[in-house]
Structure 1
Amino acid sequence: MEGFTPDGEPERYETTTPTLYEWAGGRDALIRLLTIFYGHVLEDPLLEPVFRHMDAHHAEHVAVWLGEVFGGPAAYSGEHGGHAHMIGRHLGRGITEQQRRRWVSLLLDAADEAGLPADPEFRAAFAGYVEWGSRLAVLFSAPGAEPNPHEPVPHWDWTMPPWQPPAP
């Protein structure tokens, strides 16, 4: 019988759940996502003023951040200053709720355009982080905000692991 041992016991499959970083497609997929996304941001009248003077490598740096958050290499902490640096990029910017919502909407659309996995489990985790992180960005960017610069880079994981067929 399929799915059972010769003794009639259910077969046990060892599966390893990939990180969100691996499931998304790794560094190249995140760079593709953020390159597409920031291209749209610079065409958006609400967001363009916030990003008008961004560094030419901004998309790559954010891809490194997102990669670390999603379980990839700790390169943002090692090469870009970690959470303290990310907080510093938002201080005093005064990001509005309307800008946050547009940012989230454009990033979710860019995920489709970039061909990121569309399964419900990945998209729930991705959208959850985007919502959470963007709301922190609004808080950190508010006048007089004093976020703790000693926080580690957050690590985001599956709410529910993706469905995968059992290994043969």
Structure 2
Amino acid sequence: MTDETPTIYVWGGERAGFERWLNTFYDLVEGDELLSPVFEGLVTDEHRRHVVTWWCEVMGGPASYTDELGGYEHMLAKHRGLHITAEQRLRFVTLLSQAADDAGLPDDPEFRAAIMGYAEWGTRLAVHNSGDATDVVEHAPVPRWGWGVAPPYQP
């Protein structure tokens, strides 16, 4: 990749694109019988804003989650004790993918592989961290996701 390669954050439409996507996602979650109980049937505006801020930072945007919301430790605390099941994790990832389509995010395979790769990684970590594991990493930086092996094609 070159220095001119945009971040995933920029490629996805910056904060506005991630807000559109994640609000579409949480609308789907609120109507889902498996996931809505995790949020007591309603995903608050504050939760939505915080998750958008997290995703923006992870995907190469401003470090606002770290600077303003408590970073990795805060996100970890929000998942502790939830006991997320494998079935809930899979539904979460599936609805994220559906919401990306519904919200009109870029549909090139490189972008989708990047965001869904993070979704797979992050949700599997969330399952581990939400249960009774004794080997949870308590302190870490917010991850900074990259394009991996498939940066966006730019002719």
TM over 0.5: yes
User: Partners in 1 of 2:59 and 2:97 — Cα distance?
Assistant: 16
Report the CA distance between 1:57 and its aligned residue.
Answer: 1.8
Structure 1 range deviating more: 34-43 or 54-63: 54-63
Structure 2, unaligned runs of 5 or more: none
Q: Which amino acid aligns with 2:14?
A: G
Q: Percent identity?
A: 51
Structure 1 range deviating more: 155-164 or 138-147: 138-147
- Aligned positions, number: 152
Q: Which amino acid aligns with 1:83?
A: Y
Report the CA distance between 1:145 and its aligned residue.
Answer: 4.3
**CA 92–146 in structure 1, closer or farther in 2 if over 3 Å, else same:** farther
Whether contact under 8 Å (1:34, 1:60) holds in the other structure is: no
Asked if 1:56 is matched to 2:45, the reply is yes
User: Partners in 2 of 1:144 and 1:128 — Cα distance?
Assistant: 23
Whether contact under 8 Å (1:139, 1:145) holds in the other structure is: no
Whether contact under 8 Å (2:30, 2:43) holds in the other structure is: no
Structure 1, unaligned runs of 5 or more: 1-13
Question: Between Structure 1 and Structure 2, which shows a larger proportion of helix residues?
Answer: 2
User: Partners in 2 of 1:117 and 1:23 — Cα distance?
Assistant: 8
Pairing of 1:137-156 with structure 2 (within 5 A) = 137-145=126-134, 147-156=136-145
Name the counterpart of 2:109: 120
Largest Rg, 1 or 2: 1
Q: Which amino acid aligns with 1:56?
A: D
Cα deviation digits, residues 114-142 of structure 1 (max 9, x gap): 11110011111111000000000000001
Give the root-mean-square deviation of aligned CA atoms.
1.4
Output the TM-score relative to the length of structure 2.
Answer: 0.93
Pairing of 1:92-103 with structure 2 (within 5 A) = 92-103=81-92
Name the counterpart of 1:164: 154
Q: Which of the numbers 74, 78, 98 marks the counterpart of 1:109?
A: 98
Q: Which amino acid aligns with 1:39?
A: D
Report the CA distance between 1:54 and its aligned residue.
Answer: 4.2
